Chain A
Amino acid sequence: MSSEPTAFLYPFIDGDEGDAASLLTDLAVSARAKVAASARLRADTLTRSRAEISAAGAAMAERFARGGRLYAFGNGGSATDADAAVARFRRPAAGVALPAASLVEDRAVLTALANDVGVEVVFARQVIAHGRPGDIALAVSTSGGSPNVLAGLAEARRRELLTVGLCGYEGGPMAASGDVAHCIVVRSDSVHRIQEAQDAVLRTLWAEVQAALPAGPGV
């Protein structure tokens, strides 16, 4: 077995094997297994979290209907997932366009806060600047333990924003914090599989918001 740090990803692949055709076969078999695992986790998560996602969607729709804005944030890959969620609300393929903004979009603000104060305030400080009672904070994390994400949620809670959080593993500090009105946990310990399930959760959450919006003009 290989002693490479990624060996656990494919524990049955022999690190000494030197035949490209054999490696390609093993990689494809492993990829199929991961595709299946991803599908299972998505389905399990959507089933288990159905009520929480519906409740979050209804609460978000109520905020949107009263003029609230959505602010989304996260770190790394989760930052791009937050961006994707914002794009879906702002520019939906179908349905109503809704006011949403990404707190990871402005690199001047992010670098100024990170450099002048510290990376732990990059979201909280923006919530202070932009957030009002009636708005929505949507946090995406895999660990559920990123200090800057937790600080952003805590600040949003203090300012009476609706707080919605996505996390993985067993929920981590996010699920335990008491700052998240709707916490949706993807029960896995693989960052990649968690993100794939969270992507499905975010898409479903968007659909729930659209379905819960009051009908008619003015929305």
Chain B
Amino acid sequence: MTTAPAPVPEAAADDLAALALVLGRRFAAGATLWCVAPGAPHHARHVAVEFVHPVVVGARSLPAVAVSDGDDPVEAMRLLARPGDVVLAIGPGDDAALARLLRRGPAWGVHTVLLAEDPVAAPVADHVVRVGEADAGGALLAYHLLWELTQVVFEHPGLLRGPGPVPGGDTAAGTAGEACVTCSDEGRLAEVRRLADDRTAVVVAGGHEERVDTSVVGGVGPGDLVLVHAGLAVAVVEGAGRP
């Protein structure tokens, strides 16, 4: 019979503390927490009920929503999430579909979190919290702690007004972490909303729409993720389609 220790690694405590502060500040600024767990939708619903209807009498109700299992999470979040919101995904740390969702966070201006089950690939979210093996209790423990810590952050009103509520204000999420191919400067991730003409497109970057020149990258379409620098789309990072 299993008597293994708790599955959350030691380092996760620091990650959860930092995440709780960001989450508290985002909630205080009006954010919604969106929960996505395609392989285990019960986790997303558990997070939602935890925040909306706390088990501790008198604890504040905070807006958290489980994204419907039937929805494509990218389509759903593009439609529902507002700049400043937080998207929390739970699943394998190397999941291509979750990476496709989380990679778009900087373009939409949303903060992204992955409670990552093993194996964990390159970080694809603003916060990646390792929760050990799938279905070993780590994710449950992590979001319980996240709820408890976030409630505590609310007991420090001065800290709730600290940096963080502004999209891109508390992390490097506004930048793509990739260099512009023409000038080696950092570009910004943007998602194509619609084509304006054959040389320009309206994109959303950091949650705001802007027009960019697409003549360098050629035939882009709605939903494509591009790297933008100085009003120019310089590279296609990912197509609109599923991986």
Contacts and interface: CB of A to CB of B under 8 A. Distances in A.
A200 interface: yes
Chain B contact patch, size range: 35 or more
B148 to A, nearest CB: 5
A8 to B, nearest CB: 8
Interface in A17-73: 17-18, 20, 23-25, 27-32, 34-36, 38-39, 42-43, 46-47, 50, 53
- Best-surrounded residue of A50, A81, A84 (most CB of chain B within 10 A): A84
B6 A199 contact: no
B71 to A, nearest CB: 16
A15 B155 contact: yes
A170 to B, nearest CB: 18
A199 B155 contact: no
Contact of B148 (A4, A34, A87, A195): A34
A46 B151 CA distance: 30
A44 to B, nearest CB: 9
A113 interface: no
A5 B18 CA distance: 22
Contacts of A15: 155-156
A79 B155 CA distance: 29
A77 B55 contact: yes
B124 to A, nearest CB: 23
A203 B138 CA distance: 13
A13 interface: yes
Contact of A24 (B21, B141, B151): B21
A81 B141 CA distance: 13
A108 interface: no
Nearest to B14: A28
A46 B147 CA distance: 25
A32 B10 contact: yes
Given A4-B154, A31-B17, A196-B141, A23 B159 contact: yes
Interface string A122-149: 0000000000000000000010000000
B243 interface: no
Contacts of B59: 5-6
B43 A6 contact: no
A184 to B, nearest CB: 13
Contacts of A46: 1-3
Given A35-B13, A87-B42, A5 B137 contact: no
A188 interface: no
A93 interface: yes
A216 interface: no
Contacts of A4: 151, 154-155
Contacts of A20: 21, 159, 162
B216 interface: no
A6 B46 CA distance: 19
Contact of B55 (A13, A191, A203): A191
Nearest to A83: B42
Given A18-B156, A28-B17, A35-B141, A5 B42 contact: no
A2 B14 CA distance: 23
Interface string B109-152: 00000000000000000000000001111001100110111011
B42 A196 contact: no
A195 B50 CA distance: 12
B50 A196 contact: no
Interface in A68-97: 76-77, 79-81, 83-84, 87-88, 93
The 4 lowest CB-CB distance pairs between A and B, nearest first, are A5-B58, A39-B6, A27-B17, A31-B13
8 contacts: A4-B155, A15-B155, A18-B156, A30-B152, A77-B50, A93-B135, A200-B2, A203-B136
